Amino acid sequence: MPYRNIISVIINNYNYGKYLDQSIQSVLSQTRPADEFIIVDDGSTDNSREILDGFTDNAIIVLRENGGQAAAFNSGFALASGNIIFFLDSDDMLKPDCLASVDAVWRDGVSKVHFYLDVINENGETNGLVRPLGKLPSGNLVEDILSQGAYHSSPTSGNAFNRRALEQIFPLPEQQWRSHADCPLLFLSPFFGEVVCIDKTLGFYRVHGDNMTGLFRDRQLFLPKLLSEIARDVRQDELLAAFCRQHGFSYQPGTLLKTWHSVKSRLVAKCLHSDRASMTSLVETRLHLILLSIQALIISREQSRFRKLGLIAWSIALSAAPKTVAKGLANIGYRRQAT
Coil/strand/helix, residue 148: helix
Query: Mean pLDDT over residues 305-310, rounded?
Result: 90
Supply the pLDDT for residue 339. Answer: 41
Q: Which of 113-117, 129-133, 334-338 is least confident?
A: 334-338
Q: Amino acid identity, residue 103?
A: D
Report the alpha-carbon distance of residue 236 to residue 231 in Å, rounded: 9
CA–CA separation, 36 and 205 (whole Å): 22
| Distance (Å, whole) CA 254 – CA 214 | 26
Query: For the chain, what are the domain ranges?
Result: 7-206, 223-336
User: Cα–Cα distances in Å, from 230 out to 177, 224, 264, 307?
Assistant: 14, 10, 10, 23
Residue 324 has pLDDT above 90, yes or no: no
Measure the CA–CA gap between 201 and 157, rounded to whole angstroms.
11
Specify the pLDDT at position 13: 98
Instruction: Please answer whether residues 197 and 143 qualify as being in contact, where contact means their C-beta atoms are separated by less than 8 angstroms.
Output: no
Residue type, 184: P
Query: What's the chain's average pLDDT?
Result: 90
pLDDT at 68: 96
The pLDDT of residue 213 is above 60: no
Superfamily name with CATH number, domain 7-206: Spore Coat Polysaccharide Biosynthesis Protein SpsA; Chain A (3.90.550.10)
Reported as half-sphere exposure (CB side, CA atoms, 13 A), residue 224 has a value of 5
Collapsed DSSP state (helix, strand, coil) of residue 29:
coil
Average pLDDT value for residue range 13-20: 97
What's the longest Cα–Cα distance across the chain?
64
Tell me: pLDDT of 283 over 80: no
Model pLDDT for residues 77-94, shown as the tens digit of each residue? 999 999 999 999 999 999
DSSP 133: -
Q: Give the model confidence (pLDDT) of 225-279 as tens digits.
A: 888 889 999 999 999 999 999 999 999 999 999 999 899 999 998 888 755 555 4
- The whole-model pTM stands at 0.89
Higher-scoring residue by pLDDT: 301, 170: 170
Cα–Cα distance measured from residue 149 to residue 140, given in angstroms and rounded to the nearest whole number: 15
The residue-averaged pLDDT of 95-120 equals: 97
Q: Round to the nearest angstrom and report the end-to-end CA distance of the chain.
A: 40
- The string of pLDDT tens digits covering residues 21-73 is 999 999 999 999 999 999 999 999 999 999 999 999 999 999 999 999 999 99
Nearest to 235 by CA among 193, 292, 186, 297: 186
Q: Which of 67, 44, 90 is nearest to 178 (CA)?
A: 67
pLDDT band at 127 (very low <50, low <70, confident <90, very high): confident
Q: Using alpha carbons only, what angle is made at residue 154 by residues 148 and 158, rounded to the nearest 5 degrees?
A: 150
User: 7: closest CA among 31, 25, 42, 23?
Assistant: 31
